[in-house]
Structure 1
Amino acid sequence: MSFFATLNIILLIVIIGYGLYKLFFFIKRKRAAEWIEQDKFQETMRTAQVIDVREKEDYNRGHILGARSVPYTIARAHKEYLLAIRKDAPVYLYDNRTGMAIYMAGLLKKEGYKDIYILKGGYMNWTGKTKKK
């Protein structure tokens, strides 16, 4: 087998792997939460619980004004952290992009939460008001 044939096979495997990775996150998110666009997020965030699922250090460096910190890594290990999140109000989740928010949405869904939304584009694309500690 030639070098280029081997390279093409490796490239094909990488592309298929990436596609499966994206499909996994799509299905996981679709089962647990809906996307919410930034403009709708800003318009309705006062009626929701805005939860930053990033680590505390990232939250302290800057977060959406009005958001509470409930890091996914801590909530996963200590479910009592989820008690701070009410089940009777919409939950708006975000992280730097969307990966951890998708995992947190799955965790919340398993615990009986229903109105779960993830900020499309995450904090990295946020143009609204922020606060730094």
Structure 2
Amino acid sequence: MKFLIIIAVALLAFGMFRFFRQRSFLKTLTEDQFREGYRKAQLIDVREPNEFKKGHILGARNIPLTQLKQRLVELRKDKPVYLYCQSGSRSARAAQLLHKKGYEDLNQLKGGFKKWTGKVK
């Protein structure tokens, strides 16, 4: 029983550590904040191609999270990166990968595409 409690506490501590560490390099923006900056940035939809085809933010490029490592050459480190997915979890993982590769200005849409009310294609 004590062992299970120790494991649970360790998992909780690790989750909190990752959450706060991520906040140090990834800005989560409201839709209004996201709309203000994404036209001057690299707007990346990290959902799969079939999701992208069903609808995406106007001007977005589709670089699925599953292909991101292989397609890093398509992204510039000197320009902000605005990421989104369906709900926010894949864009957070994409941001972690980009941060490890030296990208600094990383932003994600709070709530993801499902919360977006702006223009779509």
TM-score (norm 2): 0.83
Question: Alpha-carbon deviation of 1:36?
Answer: 1.1
RMSD: 2.5
Unaligned segments of structure 1, at least 5 residues:
1-15
Looking at CA atoms only, which structure, 1 or 2, has the larger radius of gyration? 1
1:69 aligned onto 2:59:
no
Structure 1 residues 97 and 25, CA gap change in structure 2 (3 angstroms): farther
Select 1:89's aligned residue among 68, 76, 79: 79
Structure 1 residues 64 and 28, CA gap change in structure 2 (3 angstroms): farther
Select 1:50's aligned residue among 31, 36, 43: 43
Contact (CA 8 Å) 1:36, 1:120: kept in 2 or not? Answer: yes
CA shift digits 1:100-122 (9 cap, x unpaired): 00110011001110000011111
CA shift digits 1:56-100 (9 cap, x unpaired): 110111100000001001114x2xx01111111110000001110
**DSSP 3-state at the match of 2:43:** strand
| Counterpart in the other structure of 1:23 | 16
Contact (CA 8 Å) 1:51, 1:91: kept in 2 or not? Answer: yes
**DSSP 3-state at the match of 1:44:** helix
Select 1:105's aligned residue among 81, 95, 105: 95
Equivalenced residue count is 117
Unaligned segments of structure 2, at least 5 residues:
1-8
Structure 1 outlier segments of 4+, above 4 Å: 18-22
**DSSP 3-state at the match of 1:64:** coil
**DSSP 3-state at the match of 2:68:** helix
2:24, 2:84 → 1: CA distance?
17
Structure 1 residues 22 and 123, CA gap change in structure 2 (3 angstroms): farther
TM-score (norm 1): 0.76
| Counterpart in the other structure of 1:130 | 120
